[in-house]
Structure 1
């Protein structure tokens, strides 16, 4: 029997019906005016699917930095629950790696696309597989799941609880002191920093600027790529 997750103060949870995507539900409820701080989640036992609704009071370019907050929250949650030898890293802009293989992603959506516009809502979702659905373990060496990495004692609901607490803590840091502290925590976990990458665009991933935008060096030129370009718009 799945226990109902406990959420920290300022955050509330709402379970979605079976076969309903928590991210889509969060977006539809955000459009309708649900309270900021509501987390929609699935009770599936083979994956963690959850989405947090925020109501930023800043332009999208600043608000979108909360995506890094959610990533740091997830990394710290896995760090607290998983065996100590299991490393967690990020692939910009949206993938999570565990032990060097992709193990989940973040999604984000807003009601505006102009980086200078102030969104009424921002939804940040996470998806983390616990088991491989319909495929044999090791079939794709570039992808993994938590159980394959030795995290058999973690459940989706325990990870959800931990993610909500760590994410709220880092949201507080972010709102109190800006992006720098989040950046300092995120940067060492980015496994493609300083590397030549092909996605989302070819170049050398130099780092992030003060707005959380990717700095991508292409020859003698450095291009700035914003997370806002990867937000889903509803």
Structure 2
């Protein structure tokens, strides 16, 4: 799968608020985008890169509320990512999210999203920036026999189009714009509902709700509910291999 065939930033057709940047091969795209954001990169800077068969895109965001609530931008990013991927894959296979940020396709882990924010920013302070990034397994050829890594899959294995990086980034940017429009015009719960449409519920859960601080509230029976906090899951995303910094195979 060729990710960047003679790609140039000008090749990306993005909404007006976005500026495309192609990272050098092997770059830690999430970390580099956080560094760019800390160095006053403009909101809407979208960085696209590839490392070891993993496609990653990251975008700088400009929050306007304290960090505790601004982290809910993760749900905007995950919905945009899910919708963008769903537009290119086989229509009969849904894109499924495991709480809060792991993305599955065809019952296997395809990747996930993560959120970065300034170190030392207090929960009640408005952060100077946020970075949402998403990493997807483009190809597992370098990992050997796919039977050795049955819990994960790749864009290549699932029949996604080749040369997908550019159109996927463009689609993601359009859906992300839509996500923030929904949040602004209709309220956060309308956006949360879009995200929950993709969320896999645990057994026996009857209902799921994103409460205002971003935690997940699961209802199993009248009077019986359970809250799953957002912040601990963002500190160490379950889909990310801490040794490689990319998607677990």
Secondary structure of the equivalent of 2:103?
strand
Structure 2: distance between partners of 1:113 and 1:230: 18
Q: Does 1:117 align with 2:125?
A: yes
Consecutive unaligned residues in structure 2, runs of 5 or more: 237-249
Deviations 1:142-186 (A, max 9, x none): 111112112144612221111111111112212333211111111
Secondary structure of the equivalent of 1:42?
strand
Contact 1:194 1:206 in 2 (8 A): no
TM-score, structure 2 normalization: 0.80
Structure 2: distance between partners of 1:84 and 1:154: 19
Q: Does 1:89 align with 2:96?
A: yes
Deviations 1:43-69 (A, max 9, x none): 569432111111101011221111111
1:1-234 maps to which residues of 2 (within 5 A)? 1-3=5-7, 4-42=11-49, 46-111=53-118, 112=120, 114-132=122-140, 133-153=142-162, 155-191=164-200, 193-195=201-203, 206-215=208-217, 224-232=227-235
Structure 2: distance between partners of 1:195 and 1:204: 9
CA apart distance, 1:221: 7.6
Question: How many residues get paired?
Answer: 226
Q: Per the alignment, do residues 217 and 95 of structure 1 end up closer, same or farther by CA in structure 2, a change over 3 Å counting?
A: same
- After alignment, is 130-139 or 20-29 more displaced? 130-139
Secondary structure of the equivalent of 1:143?
coil
Structure 2: distance between partners of 1:107 and 1:89: 16
Structure 1: distance between partners of 2:123 and 2:212: 15
Q: Per the alignment, do residues 153 and 86 of structure 1 end up closer, same or farther by CA in structure 2, a change over 3 Å counting?
A: farther
Q: What CA RMSD, in Å, does the superposition of the two structures yield over aligned residues? A: 2.7
Contact 1:45 1:156 in 2 (8 A): no
